Structure 1
């Protein structure tokens, strides 16, 4: 079945199809409608947070506890959430974690213009960037798969136009994923300096593996016009 969806609606649908358990967010155009649409799915618990840092920290707890989790915010919100963002890059996750940032080129509804692709490079995290609503849905599903395969949060970047633009989307069925068992691991989740130095090596190894993937994955392509 096909539906005409905005990018935000498509991300919500993709997360639902991927077996999402929990979502958190702080409202702000152009990202607000993501969690509003997720909240319409009975199988998923969704909640607003008092700010973006709290939204990410709640999502981190959910993902470390084994649940597939999504957190959404606009571009300036990632500034607020930067502290836990860099830490979760080192600890990794348990259940998949997708971080949606909706950038606002041209400042249609924002106090500044920034390119959050630099956050992915700075925090050493993979990022996917869809160009239409179909890719928004498909990339969300893929983001959860990559998150759990590589033990890392995955950033999904939208812009105002991809968030609010509409295009046809092929819908799929929900794939139920059980909540993974949590295993107490102090050296993984308690980022003291002695632990962080060991985790840093793993982060660099992960980035090498992701670089190899980026060179072969089918979604990474050049389109000649």
Structure 2
């Protein structure tokens, strides 16, 4: 199996490519900028910059609605700008898989604050994955798209500056050929009038329970036994 030394951002781009991603959008901001820059190197993917994070998320959501796997990337404060569609999409769900990248910046290497966007996932009732190195950045991007389609929800992939910019060895794979899903007009699902949103809320709570059951059995959550005098939960 071919291997490469990749930054977390390069690995996310590679994971999206291998997972059969078709459309990606972003608004530039360190530490997330290189994600879309690297996605743009893959001819099979349409990559485009947006005028702001809200628009970036909306066009990626539109691509998902059209049946293709999509990705949107932004830095942590950008999710404030994209909060309106972010919270609504948690209720609406997806068609093609949708992964939302939030690149947080602890210690404010290039940001005005160090907000922790794990709280966004909890507030929006949206599942979240958080990689610990470049290999997991690639693997979790691919997993996020699978889970997105399986559970009908966007997935928040939360990174931090050191994960985005650090380099580790990554195993490379081939690109999956994912067929475009058929668009089905569904007003009750895709138009969040209050009458529809109230019904979707019930589905969101059921989805969280299903994903909790999945998380307990998932290989992502594992115990690595070493010296039992000290335990570290990450």
TM-score category (smaller protein)? over 0.9
Q: How far, CA to CA, are the matches of 2:100 and 2:180 in structure 1? A: 19
Q: How far, CA to CA, are the matches of 2:25 and 2:86 in structure 1? A: 15
- Give me the TM-score of the superposition, normalised by structure 2: 0.95
Distance apart, 1:178 and its partner CA: 1.5
Cα deviation digits, residues 90-135 of structure 1 (max 9, x gap): 0100000000000000000000011100001000011000000000
Aligned to 1:125: 126
Q: How far, CA to CA, are the matches of 1:221 and 1:118 in structure 2? A: 23
In the alignment, structure 1 residue 151 sits paired with structure 2 residue 152? yes
Aligned to 2:49: 48
- Structure 1, 47-56 or 214-223: larger mean CA deviation: 214-223
Q: How does 1:1-225 map to 2 (within 5 A)?
A: 1-225=2-226
- Matched pairs, number: 225
Distance apart, 1:221 and its partner CA: 2.0
Aligned to 2:231: none
1:20 partner SS:
coil
Distance apart, 1:222 and its partner CA: 3.4
Distance apart, 1:224 and its partner CA: 4.3
Q: How far, CA to CA, are the matches of 1:75 and 1:129 in structure 2? A: 14
Question: Unmatched 5+ residue regions in structure 1?
Answer: none
Distance apart, 1:201 and its partner CA: 0.4
Q: How far, CA to CA, are the matches of 2:86 and 2:121 in structure 1? A: 10
Distance apart, 1:4 and its partner CA: 0.2
2:108 partner SS:
coil
Q: CA RMSD in A?
A: 0.7
1:67 partner SS:
coil
Aligned to 2:229: none
Q: Which protein has the larger Cα radius of gyration, Structure 1 or Structure 2? A: 2
Question: Unmatched 5+ residue regions in structure 2?
Answer: 227-234
- Give me the TM-score of the superposition, normalised by structure 1: 0.99
Q: How far, CA to CA, are the matches of 2:225 and 2:116 in structure 1? A: 25
1:46 partner SS:
strand
Q: How far, CA to CA, are the matches of 2:92 and 2:160 in structure 1? A: 28
Q: How far, CA to CA, are the matches of 1:216 and 1:180 in structure 2? A: 28
Distance apart, 1:27 and its partner CA: 0.1
Cα deviation digits, residues 169-190 of structure 1 (max 9, x gap): 0000000112111000000000
